[in-house]
Structure 1
């Protein structure tokens, strides 16, 4: 009985168990346009449609905003601000990760938010 169990488990041990596909995150840009945060992508690889946008706050270690476009996907256009983020109030002094998911791939922008006078400023975070 032990030999049979070992014989069944041996191929799994030799082959290893894959940890699943890794998500290849592409870089998105974060800028300020008309004192609003703007996340955009320089060149999508194809005519991709946005399925979801989420905001991770490093200070709370939680997703603080998520918007789904599953029922009405929007085209990911080069250099154009991704809609939906204007509804979220980014806080001065916090660091964020904005993820944009399409059917083909995911994009992310990592940045810190600050203010200079009344002007909103974003600074890219290093990996």
Structure 2
């Protein structure tokens, strides 16, 4: 299991992405955006759960079944249970990323082991 908590987050295939690109709109990326949009390998999935300043958002991958996990304030987003990694993306090529909308944006990150989302519920 990989999991992180931050302001805007996702995973991308390090073999497919350059740092100069807008990550969520690219292939082999998996992201949850402030507007409630989830990107899964260029497909847009609407969760309709927006986030703003003060929220804690997270993303993870259950490596046993390739299932993507997106959370807000410790609760899993409804409608994201069926989101899976592309079979062409090896799990060991994924890296976490954060994209910012404005210069000067700040975040704090948590790479574990204690998260707001209870991993035991998976």
Normalising by structure 2, we get a TM-score of 0.32
> Which has the larger share of strand?
1
- The answer to which structure has the higher helix fraction is 1
- The structure whose Rg is larger is 1
